[in-house]
């Protein structure tokens, strides 16, 4: 058996792993590369495998760095089923067409700016229609149940605790009567997060493929995260500015609403404060959260029973249309604006940054991972000025980071989770991380858990 590491290898994004076994070839995730131009070029690269030869695909969760190239794969000849959880399917139904429209927009902008319409960048990687066609391949599987997606392959989804519907993948692959168990972590979450249940502990694996986003970092211990948020809100409001939160549309936005609900339900925050969600995708994702209650953890269900639905704040305003979003340009003070993209690379957040970055009374609060090469990364790395819409803008606003919103396990949580295996994997493959994070966690897995580790290279094929 062989695993080909076609994405998420020595980088965070683009997760795409192809397993070639005796009786079948299948893939786990098919994500988009995000970050600087060099890495994004990989999204356009020709396949080094034949997509038509992949029998089926397993999708761990809806995030674009795991799902974003599915329409490209289908366009290139993939004919199989795509297995995922119910919430993942619901989320992909809005996220993939949204991504298709971004691809179309970027291609159009490229042609307009360069006047070159026959360059590869002038053609979208895939269109909205391609995304809708890809959705026909999706098939929902229940968590915690043994499934047989193919002759000689058994599959079980387990809770990953990362975002709504995220799964760990357990796979048993039979070759000539010998079973090999593979585990793919997808993105591993953390205990005690809003909405989602805690990550499941697994008993055993022959080979474990694990993410390492925060392999060299520990999330701050925050006793009372809503309180931290409250302090930032109150300080910004006192200064007469706006609080701008670049946020991922899925999970992070809803987590923020959860904390705001806690503050308001406990009379710790003025219930009249203006909260805007300015992202069509985040609004659509919030609707999907509302309907997928079965995925919620006990704490969230309890809050709802007490009459405080975390997604139904009375003072929450949705800016669905462009016109609603434009109106926010006039709001100079007193607003909490949650907008996407989370790494500030595109989308409506850029308008709010343009309006607020240069104002010392406003605050930009980062609540998520900022990949190398993104605008968000430049800002948190302390850039004195940044380019937006072709103009340099001085950074005068307060820049805050609250990484306890992370939906990823940190270094200690990764080690603890692997340490909980009752029988140790023969080998761990470290993926989905930047170089330093991967090296650090790899050393710790070897030293503390005594398990051999490999950090596969991009496009490397490893024989098991």
What's the rounded Cα separation, in Å, for the pair 379 and 394?
11
Nearer to Zn ion, 150 or 429 (CB): 429
- Cβ neighbors of 302 (< 8 A, separation 6 or more) are none
Nearer to Zn ion, 213 or 339 (CB): 213
Nearer to Zn ion, 65 or 255 (CB): 65
Q: Judged by CB under 5 A, which stretch of 64-72, 105-113, 132-140, 171-179 contacts Zn ion?
A: 64-72
187 in contact with Zn ion (CB under 5 A)? yes
What's the rounded Cα separation, in Å, for the pair 245 and 344?
10
What's the rounded Cα separation, in Å, for the pair 36 and 233?
32
- Cβ neighbors of 149 (< 8 A, separation 6 or more) are 26, 56, 58, 81, 83, 155
Given a contact cutoff of 8 angstroms between Cβ atoms, the answer to whether 392 and 354 are in contact is no
Q: Judged by CB under 5 A, which stretch of 65-73, 215-223, 231-239, 324-332 contacts Zn ion?
A: 65-73
Q: Distances from the Cα of 296 to the Cαs of 153, 194, 306, in angstroms?
A: 29, 8, 15
Quick one: 415 exposed, middle or buried, by C-beta within 10 A (0-12, 13-18, 19+)? middle
Given a contact cutoff of 8 angstroms between Cβ atoms, the answer to whether 255 and 338 are in contact is no
Least distance in Å: CB of 161 to Zn ion? 11
Taking CB under 5 A as the criterion, the residue among 4, 40, 42, 63 binding Zn ion is 63
The rounded radius of gyration (Å) of the Cα atoms in the chain is 22
Least distance in Å: CB of 217 to Zn ion? 15
Nearer to Zn ion, 69 or 269 (CB): 69
Least distance in Å: CB of 66 to Zn ion? 5
Residues 363-422 touching Zn ion, rule: CB under 5 A, are none
Q: Judged by CB under 5 A, which stretch of 185-193, 214-222, 328-336, 420-428 contacts Zn ion?
A: 185-193
Query: In angstroms, how far apart are the furthest CA atoms of the chain?
Result: 70
29 in contact with Zn ion (CB under 5 A)? no
Nearer to Zn ion, 5 or 150 (CB): 5
Q: Judged by CB under 5 A, which stretch of 113-121, 187-195, 279-287, 391-399 contacts Zn ion?
A: 187-195
Least distance in Å: CB of 119 to Zn ion? 29
Q: Where along the sequence are the contacts to Zn ion (CB under 5 A)?
A: 63, 65, 187
């Amino acid at each position: 058996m062989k695993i080909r590491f076609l994405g998420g290898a020595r980088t965070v994004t683009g997760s795409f792993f192809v397993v070639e076994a005796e009786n079948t070839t299948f893939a786990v995730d098919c994500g988009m590369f995000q970050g600087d131009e060099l890495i994004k070029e990989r999204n356009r690269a020709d396949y080094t495998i034949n997509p038509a030869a992949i029998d089926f695909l397993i999708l761990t969760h809806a995030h674009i760095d795991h799902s974003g190239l599915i329409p490209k794969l289908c366009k290139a000849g993939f004919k199989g089923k795509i297995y995922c959880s119910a919430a993942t399917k619901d989320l992909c139904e809005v996220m993939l067409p949204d991504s298709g429209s971004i691809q179309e927009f970027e291609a159009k902008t490229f042609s307009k700016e360069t006047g070159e319409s026959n360059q590869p960048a002038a053609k979208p990687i895939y269109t909205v229609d391609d995304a809708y066609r890809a959705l026909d391949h999706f098939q929902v599987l229940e968590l915690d149940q043994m499934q047989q997606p193919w002759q000689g392959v058994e599959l079980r989804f387990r809770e990953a605790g990362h975002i709504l519907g995220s799964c760990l993948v357990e796979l048993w692959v039979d070759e000539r009567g010998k079973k090999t168990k593979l585990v793919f972590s997808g993105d591993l979450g953390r205990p005690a997060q809003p909405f989602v249940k805690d990550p499941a502990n697994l008993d055993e694996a022959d080979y474990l493929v694990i993410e390492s986003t925060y392999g060299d970092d520990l999330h701050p211990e925050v006793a009372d995260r809503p309180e931290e948020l409250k302090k930032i809100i109150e300080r910004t409001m006192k200064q007469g500015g706006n609080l701008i939160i670049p946020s991922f549309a899925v999970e992070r936005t809803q987590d923020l609403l959860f904390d705001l609900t806690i503050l308001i339900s406990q009379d710790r925050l003025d219930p009249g404060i203006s909260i805007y969600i300015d992202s069509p995708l985040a609004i659509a994702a919030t609707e999907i959260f509302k309907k997928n209650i079965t995925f919620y953890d006990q704490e969230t269900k309890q809050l709802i029973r007490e009459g405080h639905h975390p997604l139904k704040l009375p003072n929450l305003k949705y800016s669905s249309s462009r016109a609603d979003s434009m109106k926010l340009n006039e709001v100079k003070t007193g607003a909490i604006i949650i907008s996407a993209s989370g790494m500030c690379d595109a989308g409506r957040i850029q308008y709010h940054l343009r309006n607020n970055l240069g104002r010392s009374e406003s605050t930009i609060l980062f609540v998520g991972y900022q990949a190398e090469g993104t605008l968000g990364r430049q800002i948190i790395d302390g850039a004195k000025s940044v380019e937006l819409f072709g103009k340099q803008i001085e950074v005068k606003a307060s820049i805050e980071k609250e990484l306890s919103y992370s939906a990823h396990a940190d270094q200690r949580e990764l080690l603890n989770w692997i340490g909980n295996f009752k029988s140790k994997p023969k080998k761990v493959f470290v993926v989905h991380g930047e170089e330093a994070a991967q090296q650090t966690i790899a050393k710790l897995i070897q030293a503390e858990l005594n398990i051999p580790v490999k950090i596969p290279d991009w496009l490397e094929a490893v024989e098991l």
